[in-house]
A = this chain, B = another copy of it.
Amino acid sequence: MMKAAIFGASGYTGQELTRILSGHPGVKLVAVTSRRFTGQKVADVFPSLQGLNTLQYQDAAPAQISQESDVVFLALPHGVSMNIVPEFIKAGKKVIDLSADYRLRDIKTYETWYGKHASAKFIKNAVYGLPELYRPKIRKADFIANPGCYPTSIILGLAPALKKKMVDVSTIIADSASGVSGAGREPLTGSLFCEVDGGFKAYKVGKHRHLPEIEQELNVLAGKKFAVSFTPHLLPVKRGILSTIYAKLKKDISLADLHALYSAFYANEKFIRICPEGVYPNISSVTGSNYCDIGLAVDPRTKRVIIMAAIDNLVKGAAGQAVQNMNIMCGFREDAGLKIAPLYP
């Protein structure tokens, strides 16, 4: 069994990694860290995990975690990961960082959006961990920058259209909505039940920090530079992201042809499901699972394509994708530990 550790394990993403790894056939979780809950058992903080995990949270130094484990997941806030990751890399561990700290290849862009980087020289070591696009590199990697949740949905949704140069890239708009777990488990007024339930609103319009990550990858796919509009909204659900993406078609295409093209592009992908024609993805159909469901519409009146991509932000948008990356890096079956059927209803 490979030994895994989670740094920053008491947030929702850390919890989700704990949940998923508890069912992984080839991995033993040996350490979980949390400043806030040091000394408490995982199962006391998350009673759902009683019987599935017997660890307790520690406030261990990276060096100690390094000694005990073969692979390390970092579920820390951006700006914190950057101080710890180098130690694990130097120690020769497999590292999967779920923060934003090493996702942007351009340090200037990073510092514009996030502030000073403390270990910028390691950025070049990181492989952007979107398996559907970077699988060969991930296979050889030791260090993964795990993608953000919104970017995962938007990049997977647009990849076939961009690769095939079907759309006018200057017209791309991504209108997204996320469940509240995306805001983490910090006790913030804006995440309170009474503030969220029955509500729906946009936030950080055109200013969300996932924007440069989205543009970086869309630009790579299209082979040129361009900016996109991205509007995140807060949904009154616990999990799930739906991105509804608009773009002008460069030339007419039927829905059937578009559907065939997307189906072919993702034909060998276990975690991408193209919805039947006329069916649109629902976040509740992927809840708890590592699937990304993609639906398609063509609007001949406006010559636009509308692409909808749904994921569970904590799974394909975070912990599940991290495990998928680990599986690829470490030679497991890509879906090991991830054969989790969505929970519906």
Binding site for B on A (CB under 8 A): 12, 15, 19, 22-23, 44, 46-52, 171, 173, 175, 177, 180-181, 185, 187-189, 191-203, 205-206, 227-229, 231, 233, 235-240, 242, 244, 246, 270, 273, 275-276, 279-289, 291, 293, 295, 297, 299, 301-302, 304, 306, 308, 310, 339-345
Given contact pairs A187-B189, A200-B242, a sample of 17 additional A-B residue pairs in the complex whose CB atoms are under 8 Å apart: A46-B344, A47-B275, A48-B284, A48-B287, A48-B341, A185-B194, A187-B188, A198-B198, A199-B240, A200-B237, A200-B240, A201-B283, A202-B242, A205-B297, A205-B306, A228-B302, A287-B343
A200 touches B287 (CB 8 A): no
Do B191 and A192 touch (CB < 8 A)?
A: yes
Report yes or no: A199 in contact with B282, Cβ–Cβ below 8 A. yes
In the complex where A193-B193, A237-B236, A240-B200 touch, is A344 in contact with B48 (Cβ < 8 A)?
Answer: yes
List 18 interface pairs A-B (beta carbons < 8 Å), by A numbering. Answer: A19-B344, A48-B285, A49-B342, A171-B171, A173-B246, A177-B177, A177-B233, A181-B345, A193-B196, A198-B345, A199-B240, A200-B284, A201-B308, A202-B242, A202-B297, A229-B299, A233-B242, A235-B235
Q: Which residues of B contact A239 (CB under 8 A)?
A: 198, 345
Contacts of A206 in B (CB 8 A): 297, 299, 301-302, 306
Q: How far is the CA of A128 from the CA of B276 in the complex (A)?
A: 39
A48 to chain B, nearest CB (A): 4
Tell me the minimal C-beta distance from A339 to chain B in angstroms.
6
Which of these, B193, B229, B282, B343, contacts A180 with CB under 8 Å?
B193
The docked-state distance in angstroms from the alpha carbon of A240 to that of B195 is 15
Q: A26 CA to B12 CA in the complex, in Å?
A: 33
- Given A202-B244, A229-B306, A231-B244, A185:B192 Cβ within 8 A: yes
